[in-house]
Every structure is written in structure tokens, then in C-alpha cells.
Structure 1
Amino acid sequence: MKIGIVSDSHGDVRVFEDMLSAFGAADAEMWLHAGDFAPDADVLEEMTGKPVVRVLGNCDFHMEGVYDETVVEIAGHRIFLTHGHLFNVRFDTAMLAEAARESGADIAVYGHTHIALEERGDITVLNPGSIARPRDERRGSFMLVELSEDEKPAVTLIRI
């Protein structure tokens, strides 16, 4: 199953058009939005017609039924989804990986730093960077991830 991962859109939903026109993006069967701004996930869902799982970021306000973290089960994988600000991700991902491990997840997805990252270990840690306000390059980024049961995720970082 192919999923898309995006974070830190910060209300600039115009970037979704460029993101969705990128090669392979239309093949995503669902999307994960790692916060800042969680309401942007509604726009993404409307644009794609695909489900979007979201979490709150440090710039989000309370939304009924949306939390700081959630666990999603997809294609034999458990994904711990959070924005990251509550797990000290600006310094390292150890606390985040431990939270994922404790939840029984094999993948941790976060945002917050606006810097794309992929770390492999017993927990695969993914940050798609920021689609709207990147700090690691001039172009925004997102990830497409192919998930198959009993296989490590195949991750592609895409710059728009």
C-alpha cells in the first residue's frame, strides 16, 4: 500500500496542488498529516478523495477528535504519528522512537523541525520536512511510502 506523508503546511494549502502533481502522489491510497495546521488535512482530503489521518502540532488549536499522537495500522505496520514537539525532536529522535516502541509501532512519523529525515533501526523514523516552510532546502518536501507486510518501508522523499 502506498501512503503519502506531509507536515507543517501552516495554512498554505496552495502547495498541495504542486505536491499532488508530483510523480507518484496520485497513487497514494491515504495520507498522514503530522500537524501544523491540522485543519489543512480537510483540504487535502477534499482534493484527493483519500482518507487523511492527522495530529495536532504546536501551532494548532484544539480540534474535536484530533490528538497530539495516534497509532495507525496499515499493511501489517503500526505507525506512531505525532508532530514531535512533545518528544524533543529538535535534539534527537530517541524519545520519539521509545514512545513508538512502547505503542508497539515499527514506524514513527513526525514533523515540527521542518527538516526531512529518515532513520533506520528497529523503529523506522520518518520526517517529511515541511511542505510549505522548509528549513533544509528552498523547496518544500513530502514523502511517499510503500508499505508491504513483513518488509521494511520503501521511502521516497520528494521536493516540490
Structure 2
Amino acid sequence: MKIGIASDSHGDTNALDVMLQHPAAADVEAWLFAGDIAMDAEYLEMVTDLPVIKVAGNNDWPMSRLEDTVLADLGDHRILLTHGHLYGVNFSTQNLVLAAREQAADIAVYGHTHVADLSIGEVTVLNPGSVARPRDASRGSFMVADLVQGQKPVVKLIRI
């Protein structure tokens, strides 16, 4: 199963359109949206007609009715999806990894920092960076992950 991972579009649906036009997004079967701005996840769902698993970000409060953290079972992987601000990801992903372990998740996805992160370990930690307002490069980014049963995910960071 191929999934797309995006975060921190901050109302820039044009950046989402550019992301969707990238060849790497062509075969995506579902999207994970790690928050900021919740309405953008609804836009993504509308224009792709694919499932979009989404969480609220720190800029979605108090308007969003989305959860702060969601568990998603895709393939034989359990994914903890969160924006990350409630786990202190600006300083470390340690609390996020602990939360994933407590929920028997082998993948933890977050956003918030606008900086891409791909750490393979007992828990694979993924941050797609910001599709619209990156802090680690001049171009926005997203990720695609191939989830193969019994294997670690194969993840690619894509700059748009």
C-alpha cells in the first residue's frame, strides 16, 4: 500500500495542488495529514477522492473537531498520527516514540516543526516537513511511504 503524508499547508491549497501533480503522488491510495490547517485536509480529500486520515494542529484550535492524535491501521502497520506540539517535538521526538510504543504503533507521523524527519528504528518516525512553509529548505515537501507487510516502510521525501 502506498500512502502520502503531508503537513502544515497553512491554507495554501495551491501547494497541495502542486504536491498532487508530482509523479510520486500518482499511485497514493490514502493520505495522512498531520495538521495545520484542518480545512486543507478536507480539500485534499475532496480533490483526490481518497481517504484522508487527519488530526488537528496547534493552529486549528479551537475551531477543529478533529482529534489531536489518531491511530490508523494500514496494511499490517499501526501508525500514530499527530501534529506533534503536544509531544514537545520542537525539542525531541522521545515522547512521541514512547506514545507510539504504548499504543503498539510501529510508525509515528508528526508535523509542527516544518522540518522533514525520517528516522528508522524500533518506531519509524516521520515528519514530511511543510508542504507550503518549509523551514529546512526553499521548497515545500511531502512524503510517500510504501507499506509492505512484514517489512519496514520504504519512505521517500519529495520536494515540490
* TM more than 0.5: yes
Listed as ranges, the gaps of 5+ residues in structure 2 are none
Match of 2:80 in 1: 80
Residues 23-82 of structure 1, C-alpha deviation per residue, up to 9 Å, x if partnerless? 120210000000000111111011111010100100003433x10000000010000000
Seq. identity, %: 56
Q: Distance in 2 between matches of 1:69 and 1:39?
A: 17
> What one-letter code is carried by the residue in structure 1 that aligns with 2:98?
E
Q: Matched residue pairs, number? A: 159
Q: CA deviation at 1:120?
A: 1.1
Match of 1:110 in 2: 110
Match of 2:35 in 1: 35
- What is the TM-score normalised by the length of structure 2? 0.97
Residues 90-115 of structure 1, C-alpha deviation per residue, up to 9 Å, x if partnerless? 11111000001101100000000000
- What is the TM-score normalised by the length of structure 1? 0.97
- The answer to which structure has the higher helix fraction is 2
CA RMSD of aligned residues (A): 0.7
Q: Helix, strand or coil for the counterpart of 1:24?
A: helix
Listed as ranges, the gaps of 5+ residues in structure 1 are none
Report matched runs for 1:43-62 at 5 Å: 43-61=43-61, 62=63
Q: Distance in 2 between matches of 1:83 and 1:16?
A: 18
Q: After the TM superposition, which segments of 4 or more aligned residues of structure 1 sit over 3 Å from their partners? A: none
